Amino acid sequence: MPKALITGITGQDGSYLAEFLIKQGYEVLGMVRRTSTINFDRIRHFQDRVTLVQGDLLDQVSLLNILEEHKPDEVYNLAAQSFVPTSWTQPVLTGEFTALGVTRILDAVRLVNPKIRFYQASSSEMFGKVREVPQSEATPFYPRSPYGVAKVYGHWITINYRESYDLYACSGILFNHESPRRGLEFVTHKITNAVARIKLGLDSELRLGNLDARRDWGYAPDYVRAMWLMLQQDAPDDYVIATGETHSVQEFCEEAFRFVDLDWREYVVQDERFMRPAEVDMLVGDPTKAGETLGWEPSVTFGDLVRLMVEADIEALKRNARVPHLDYA
């Protein structure tokens, strides 16, 4: 039975990847950091089928010990400070987790067992102020946030360790991917949660920042499949994972409100607080290489993604699930 370690198992992608790997017959280890209250909401429904181990990307010894004791065949490094605005208020911490954390885990792989196959969660945020449209593996980077800068470091250190130590290390340049498990601070879930609350009479407005920003939004379960495929090839490589379609934040709002028969213009208010010091205006990926080499393609359209997220939020509110309202994001 192959064994995989997932850092960031409590996050959106980590939870879907764990479920996917269990279905593929893997023994799954999930690294979790110590918190004063348990935050296993996304993994509770399969917690009995994974082994949770305590560790932190800030702590090198914890990483070495986990690899030595549990001997995984594959490591998926998904843990990061992943919210772009927080990277301006906590730039050093973001660099520690999202940049140097990658070196810590790569070094642990190199020292404990260089045969481990390694996946790094790189990001379309690295393209930032885009140099070409659409963005492919060959597009130069121009990051626009401390998060984007940290991800560029993580991307290049992964390639450097592959070339320096002959590791099977891959970097997936994933464009935005969403789901009902997405953190509420990200714009898609912020919108669908607000639409559900407004439809059920629990809220009356939605305050957003830049409505013109464009993203290439896909469905998270499709994207974790691509991570696994990258580690099953003859040779390690880097891949763009995207839908190839771009939509604005406003289009996302239009679609989400339309689904519940409401007009977005009556509820959406632009608020300076949610504008960023430097914006990534437009992202759209070219997933040709992933299609040709991995046989990967997305299965959920933009319209289906919006609808499945609105439906899930309405259902959660009807079940009285506690969906907190966030004021800072």
CA dist., res. 190 & res. 173, Å (int) = 24
CA distances from 97 to 12, 46, 195, 239 (A): 17, 26, 33, 22
Annotation says 328 is catalytic: no
The residue assigned the tokens 């880097």 is 238
Annotation says 137 is catalytic: no
Q: Which amino acid is at 90?
A: Q
User: Of the ranges 11-19, 43-51, 135-143, 194-202, which one interacts with ligand NAP (CB under 6 A)?
Assistant: 11-19
Two tokens, residue 272: 């300076």
Among positions 250-279, residues that touch ligand NAP (CB under 6 A) are none
39 forms part of the interface with ligand NAP (CB under 6 A): yes
Q: Which amino acid is at 102?
A: V
Burial class (CB in 10 A: 0-12, 13-18, 19+), 233: middle
Catalytic residue among 19, 74, 125, 255: 125
- What is the nearest approach in angstroms of ligand G4F to the Cβ of residue 227? 14
**In whole angstroms, what separates CA 286 from the centre of its chain?**
18
Nearer to ligand NAP, 158 or 176 (CB): 176
Annotation says 125 is catalytic: yes
CA distances from 136 to 9, 174, 259, 317, 319 (A): 28, 11, 33, 39, 42
Looking at 20, 46, 186, 267, which residue binds ligand G4F (CB under 6 A)? Answer: 186
Site string for ligand G4F, 300-319 (x = CB under 6 A): --------------------
86 forms part of the interface with ligand NAP (CB under 6 A): no
CA dist., res. 34 & res. 55, Å (int) = 8
- What is the nearest approach in angstroms of ligand G4F to the Cβ of residue 199? 19
Beta carbons within 8 Å of 131's beta carbon, 6+ residues apart: 139, 140, 142
Catalytic residue among 123, 145, 171, 179: 123
Looking at 21, 67, 80, 309, which residue binds ligand NAP (CB under 6 A)? Answer: 80
Catalytic residue among 16, 26, 147, 223: 147
Looking at 14, 95, 236, 285, which residue binds ligand NAP (CB under 6 A)? Answer: 14
Annotated active-site positions, please? Answer: 123, 125, 147
